Structure 1
Amino acid sequence: MNRQRNLALAVGLIAAFMTLLDVSIVNVAVPSIERALKASPNELQWVLSGYALTFGLVLVAAGRFGDIHGRRNVFIAGLALFTVTSAAAGLATSPEWLIAARLLQGAAAGIVNPQVVGMIEQMFQGSERGRPFGLLGSVIGISTAIGPLLGGLLIALVGSHEGWRLVFFVNVPVGIAAIIFGRRVLPVQRPGPRQSLDPVAMLLLGIGVTLLLLPLIEERQWQGWLKWLLIPAAALVLTGFVHWERRYRRRGEPLFDLALFQRRSYSLGSLIALLYFAGFTALFFIFTLFLQNGLHYSALAAGISVTPFAVGSALSAILGGRIVNRFGRPLVAIGLVLVAIALVGIMVALHFVPGRGAPYATAAPLLLAGIGSGLVITPNQTLTLAEVPVERGGAAAGMLQTGQRIGSAAGIAGVGTVFFSALAATHNGWSRAFRDALLIALGFVLIAFIAALADIFVGRRGRGRERDAHAHGKPSEQGG
């Protein structure tokens, strides 16, 4: 049983790695795509952001669908769609074709990822979840950081004219193998009572997330201030979603159980994830631009430069998964402090080594940032989902990952705005622009740290009240 469970976990981690890798691996292929398909800047933006948009759009509904109808079949169907659309993207002969394939590919990724978390919760109980969540956190950190490196390697292998196609084709054999093994080793979930997916809630949530993400991911392409009106419109639609779910709960199972946000572990953990991903993802966005466009490094060299982060993240994520049950949320706070120190270290390194030596000067701070990141992502995910009922695991994971996607989009928009504004003001001062943008990323990390401290202090106060109540022989309310 343990062997089959470990094989099932391996299949899930491979699928998660592929789908998360495609968030960043395409970045270094953009110049090749532009030349090969004669794509405009707006079309290139949609090749990148369309994937993130549809990824975030389907997460909650896909997670809930897996909770109801069985995660194994939904996982395999999503993986099959991801494999087919990856092949379609690699075969693209026009920008429109590639954009359509990327939109479907992102939706497939959004179907797959909540099932992975749901299956971990289904297969592992209690403290057992630390190790698999540690491995999943390692996958999240590595896939985001190593995407530019793998993309650069593939393009260097085939050549810049056709190498971008290999970035997509590489998913096909891996996807086929994962489907074959998945059908053999993934656990079969017994179907529960027949339930509907609440199509009204799906529509409201989908429209709300789309309105929220569009101005963020199109921040540089859509000129003017009118695009920001979509954010209050998103707030109105999402408020409608909340009211609908509260009413629907009286007569059926809602799409997402809003009562989960009454649990401190889930609400504060989701907030920490959103804020951290805003700073974490933006770091690689501006670092890749700085190295390739500012210092004229090749795609491969730029990818190699972020390897220290990937190494640190991989090692500490596994460790974090093993020790999270012993240290709890303070471990997340320690990780956030390490990341903050590392970002300051990067700024100091670039002050003294602003030119071509920047990758060498930033290697040690990036390693420290990776170590800190591994102590944030894995433990935070474990603690956030610790009190979620297994039958709600997919939807809860979908909402958590939706927050991560929104955080990533907000971080790239905010940090990117500062980066390009500083670049325009300093006349090709790439190092200065990068340092200014890092301050915004640091701000996101520090706010996440404040949220982690709030969870720690409230938890300690709750445990203190519980001890006092026991000492006086009175019942107490459980915190969190």
Structure 2
Amino acid sequence: MKRSTADPAPAAPRERFDAAGRRVLLVCVAGGFTTLLDQSVLNTSIPALRESLHAQPAHLQWIVAGFSLAFGLALVPGGRLGDVRGRKWFFVAGLALFTSVSVLSATATEPWVLVAARLLQGAGAGLVNSQMIGTLQDVFDGQLRARALGMYAVTGGLAFALGPPIGGAVLAAVGPEAGWRLTFLLNVPFGLATVALAARWLPRPRPSARHADLDLVGLLLVGALTLVLMLPFVQPPAWTGWLAFAAGACLLLGALAWWQRRYARAGGHPLIHPALTRSAPYALGTAVAMAQFGSSIAAGLVLAMFLQDGLGLSPIGAALVALPSAMSMGVASALAWRVVQRFGRRTVTAGMVASALVMLAGGLVVQWGPTGALPWLLAALQLLGGAAVGVMGATNQAFVLRHAPAEAAGVSGAILQMTQRIAAAVSVSALSGVYLRATAGGGGHRAAYAYASAVCAAVAGLAVLASVYAGRASARDGEAPAAGVDATPEAPAPGVREDAAPGGGR
């Protein structure tokens, strides 16, 4: 029978991974899970390692924030080295570094040793992840590439979800002293197995004749700027010191902008391509991603400390309070495409509004709620907050990369991920400093948590404004306000060249 023109077209057949593709995908997913699980497990262990190492607030800030800082700074140069020299052995080297330093972290007897180990772990994790996403883009095309990148995104969410209960279970099983050390050693068997599989299954490196243009000056300027933003919170100065740090940040920001333009005019590949800053939707969307990622990571850390130090919950109890956030985030991420098809970019703004309100409500509940009900109330808010982030996170990423200028499309995804990690480093330093010093000053855990939550809500509020302006800028660029964008985790990053890899030139 002749098919009516009104009938829907038959669906395209679903492509399948071949045996070699499945092996590559397994290695990349295992590498991502191993490196991304580390941060979420650590949050639950912070009170235990603080007591064991007699760590000061500054030590704790560097232990947590140093990982994100080194992770972010390693992404772009790692990706470019992989572009030119081949990815396989950089992947192996990064994971071997991450795994071996995990043993150093687990056996640390002084806080500064753990700080140094976390910086090295972050650098190894950044090197691994830049090669991993690049490998997926090198090996797969079309629908298979979208599915492979989607599985990498889901792996990150799974690692985030499993980290707190795993950390809590380990500490409950063996006690706080041995428990926090064992959480670092969890990386070792996964890392060793993945290193062996990567050496055997990843594609042979295909070096390029191109020069590895790393823009070390740009990288140093970004690192210096991040440190200037972090240090006032690690070691708070007098008011004149705050002014000096603010002036230093402005000078470094100006120097970075000047150097990037100069380096691009000289024919180099700058760390942050000037075309990215000239695209208002990309720049504003990146600001939204930074504020969302930074405030979420910092809020999770402060919550873990409050539940254990303020309410006296066990590590496993604290993990169970945080678990609804990760679960609802995963569900919401999977359903986000349905929401964005109807509401378009407004989904991002609505998600950020909901996230800011949840953070504010958390502070109010802790300040005024009955002690016995606080774990239940906070768990309910975690459920709502995770859903809000799940709906807007992947959606915002899709919109941001869609507006990456063509001449900077290859590096746009890596810059987005790098800025998020740097935002996490600064936010964790600031918010943990706010919480730890407020409790040390005798203000009480409740007041400290309420204050930290208000700061997180304010940061999320700034993201709401950036999202509104990003929507207006997108409309000026010709994007319909409710345009359907495939924002599921399985969608390939819009604006990324078919032959480009993250950090080289996601």
Q: Indicate the TM-score class for this superposition, using the shorter chain for normalisation.
A: 0.7 to 0.9
Which position in structure 2 is the counterpart of 1:291? 307
Structure 1 residues 327 and 91 mapped into 2: Cα distance closer, same or farther (>3 Å)?
same
Give the RMSD, CA atoms, in angstroms.
3.5
Which position in structure 1 is the counterpart of 2:42? 26
Structure 1 residues 417 and 296 mapped into 2: Cα distance closer, same or farther (>3 Å)?
same
Q: Larger deviation: 15-24 or 441-450?
A: 15-24
Q: Does 2:70 match 1:81?
A: no
Secondary structure of the corresponding residue to residue 23 of structure 1: helix
Structure 1 residues 321 and 142 mapped into 2: Cα distance closer, same or farther (>3 Å)?
farther
Which position in structure 2 is the counterpart of 1:463? 478
* Residue of 399, 410, 416 corresponding to 1:400: 416
Structure 1 residues 245 and 422 mapped into 2: Cα distance closer, same or farther (>3 Å)?
closer
Which position in structure 1 is the counterpart of 2:113? 97
Taking the aligned partners of 1:380 and 1:423, their CA distance within structure 2 comes to 35
TM-score, normalising length from structure 2? 0.79
Q: Does 2:358 match 1:304?
A: no
Identity %, equivalent residues: 34
Counting only pairs closer than 5 Å after superposition, residues 180-259 of structure 1 correspond to structure 2 as 180-187=196-203, 190-198=206-214, 201-213=215-227, 215-216=229-230, 219-225=233-239, 226=241, 229-256=244-271, 257-259=273-275
Counting only pairs closer than 5 Å after superposition, residues 335-354 of structure 1 correspond to structure 2 as 335-347=351-363, 349-350=365-366, 353-354=369-370
Which position in structure 2 is the counterpart of 1:377? 393
Taking the aligned partners of 2:432 and 2:115, their CA distance within structure 1 comes to 22
Secondary structure of the corresponding residue to residue 2 of structure 1: coil
- Deviation at 1:307? 0.3
* Residue of 250, 270, 295 corresponding to 1:279: 295
Structure 1 residues 24 and 141 mapped into 2: Cα distance closer, same or farther (>3 Å)?
same
**Would you say the 8 A contact 2:332–2:390 is kept in 1?**
yes
TM-score, normalising length from structure 1? 0.83
- Deviation at 1:6? 5.1
Secondary structure of the corresponding residue to residue 297 of structure 1: coil
Which position in structure 1 is the counterpart of 2:124? 108
- Deviation at 1:386? 3.9
| Residue-by-residue CA offset, 1:362-416 (whole Å, 9 max, x unaligned) | 2222112111111222222233334659997774333222211232234335544
Taking the aligned partners of 1:456 and 1:398, their CA distance within structure 2 comes to 22
* Residue of 155, 174, 191 corresponding to 1:175: 191
Counting only pairs closer than 5 Å after superposition, residues 422-437 of structure 1 correspond to structure 2 as 427-428=443-444, 430-437=445-452
Unmatched 5+ residue regions in structure 1?
A: 466-478
Structure 1 residues 29 and 426 mapped into 2: Cα distance closer, same or farther (>3 Å)?
closer
Taking the aligned partners of 2:78 and 2:183, their CA distance within structure 1 comes to 26
Taking the aligned partners of 2:407 and 2:475, their CA distance within structure 1 comes to 29
Counting only pairs closer than 5 Å after superposition, residues 123-202 of structure 1 correspond to structure 2 as 123=139, 131-144=147-160, 146-187=162-203, 190-198=206-214, 201-202=215-216
Taking the aligned partners of 1:221 and 1:464, their CA distance within structure 2 comes to 45
- Deviation at 1:195? 1.6
Which position in structure 2 is the counterpart of 1:270? 286
Structure 1 residues 157 and 269 mapped into 2: Cα distance closer, same or farther (>3 Å)?
same
Counting only pairs closer than 5 Å after superposition, residues 402-421 of structure 1 correspond to structure 2 as 402-416=418-432, 419=435
**Would you say the 8 A contact 1:135–1:317 is kept in 2?**
no
Structure 1 residues 229 and 69 mapped into 2: Cα distance closer, same or farther (>3 Å)?
farther
Q: Larger deviation: 346-355 or 15-24?
A: 346-355
| Residue-by-residue CA offset, 1:151-198 (whole Å, 9 max, x unaligned) | 222222222222222111111111122223334554567444412324
Structure 1 residues 297 and 9 mapped into 2: Cα distance closer, same or farther (>3 Å)?
same
Structure 1 residues 434 and 248 mapped into 2: Cα distance closer, same or farther (>3 Å)?
closer
Secondary structure of the corresponding residue to residue 372 of structure 2: coil
Which position in structure 2 is the counterpart of 1:474? none
Which position in structure 2 is the counterpart of 1:469? none
Count of equivalent residues = 463
Unmatched 5+ residue regions in structure 2?
A: 1-15, 481-494, 496-506
- Deviation at 1:328? 4.7
Q: Larger deviation: 261-270 or 316-325?
A: 316-325
**Would you say the 8 A contact 1:66–1:394 is kept in 2?**
no
- Deviation at 1:451? 2.1
* Residue of 466, 470, 477 corresponding to 1:451: 466
